[in-house]
Amino acid sequence: MAVMATEHSFRPTYAVPPGETIADLLEEHEMTQTELAKRLGVTLKHVNQIVNGGASISAELALGLEKVFRVPADFWLNRESLYQADLARQSETKELEAHIGWARTFPIKDLRKADFVSRDASGVDLVQELLRFLGVASPALWESRVAAYRRSQRYRSDQPALDAWLRVGELRAAAIECTSFDSDHFMSALREARGLTREHPKVWQPLITQALADAGVALVIVDTFEGARAHGATRWLSPHKALIQLSLRYHWEDVFWFSFFHEAAHVLLHRKKGIFVDGLELTESDALEDDLRLEEEANRWA
């Protein structure tokens, strides 16, 4: 099930400090800032800063304003919170403008088709939606998160497309409730799978998905994204839950099932050794020697 792009209501491009409301109330009550400072027990400078948005309203001050103007403290605290959030959002928008090009390197067309990014998002809005899809606060944090697995193998693939494809698998796997990993149950599920390879996907997919979940492994099939050449990936989402992710890049049953059992071999033989991405045409000159050894082991087992 896709994670729908979040829709947001209109937000102004300016931030309104709660001090403007205080200024209106002062005028309404024909009260000076000096008088308000005396009633609140603070300095005139502090009141002036609050009115002009240069100082924030504390919980203590909100209680004081409640008594002076008979306006609930919650109102003042909510206004202050919204004001600070608007300031932070404006600052973030300026920072994200520099990353619009970064966002466009991802397979936006595919993500829109899968409802992970809204169809009309562009500019900074597109960057923000992409960050929500990736589950990080900034592009730098995403690049840091994926740096480790990128170093593990030298991929012949469009990296952002591969990142997006893997992320979709991660999100869909999160929706699959799995028991704690059990190798015996996993082997039993694989034996069941070998007996279903001739069946239609409508028959075997729900059966195998549930059998694997009962063994602690989430199975997800994600349509390939343009530029993401992988047809399979394996990784551990937690110490007790593994993920086998497959695509339908090659529409041949024998290739699909070989990929399935190849990824299963990574779960069994190379437990918790990182992420394995297959189908990216690694060669001896591209990959680390250990990468090739692990892939050959998985091939033999499959």
Task: Identify whether 271 is part of a domain.
Answer: yes
Task: Specify whether 294 is located in the same domain as 191.
Answer: yes
Query: Which of 96, 114, 143 finishes a domain?
Result: 96
What end-to-end distance do the CA atoms of the chain give, in Å? 29
25: containing domain: 19-96
> To the nearest 10°, the Cα dihedral for 174, 176, 177, 178?
-90
Work out how many domains the chain is built from and give that number. Answer: 2
pLDDT at 153: 53
Listed in sequence order, the residues at least 6 apart from 147 whose beta carbon sits closer than 8 Å to its beta carbon are: none
Can you say whether residue 135 is alpha, beta or left, with left for phi > 0 and alpha for psi between -120 and 50 degrees? left
How far apart, in Å, are the Cα atoms of 140 and each of 102, 127, 149, 259? 11, 12, 16, 33
The stretch 234-247 carries a mean pLDDT of 93
pLDDT at 285 > cutoff 80: no
Residue-wise pLDDT tens digits, 93-152? 999 999 999 999 999 999 999 999 999 999 999 999 999 999 999 999 998 888 766 655
pLDDT of res. 296: 57
pLDDT at 201 over 80: yes
Q: What is the pLDDT of residue 283?
A: 44
Tell me if 27 is assigned to some domain.
yes
With contact defined as beta carbons under 8 Å apart, do 152 and 295 qualify?
no
Of 51, 73, 96, the residue at which a domain comes to its end is: 96
Residue 166 sits in the same domain as residue 262: yes
In a domain, 105, yes or no: no
The answer on 89 and 218 residing in a single domain is: no
Is residue 89 situated within a structural domain? yes
Say if 127 falls within a structural domain. Answer: no
The answer on 198 and 90 residing in a single domain is no
> Exposed, middle or buried: residue 33 (CB in 10 Å: 0-12, 13-18, 19+)?
middle
Is 159 in the same domain as 293? yes
Q: Evaluate whether residue 117 is within a structural domain.
A: no
Q: pTM to 2 decimals? A: 0.77
Which of 96, 118, 145 delimits the end of a domain? 96
Q: Do 76 and 179 fall into the same domain? A: no
Let me know whether 215 and 88 are in one domain: no
| CATH number of the domain residue 88 falls in | 1.10.260.40
Q: Is the pLDDT of residue 217 over 50?
A: yes
Same domain, 212 and 287: yes
Q: Nearest-5° angle of CA 62, CA 67, CA 78?
A: 30
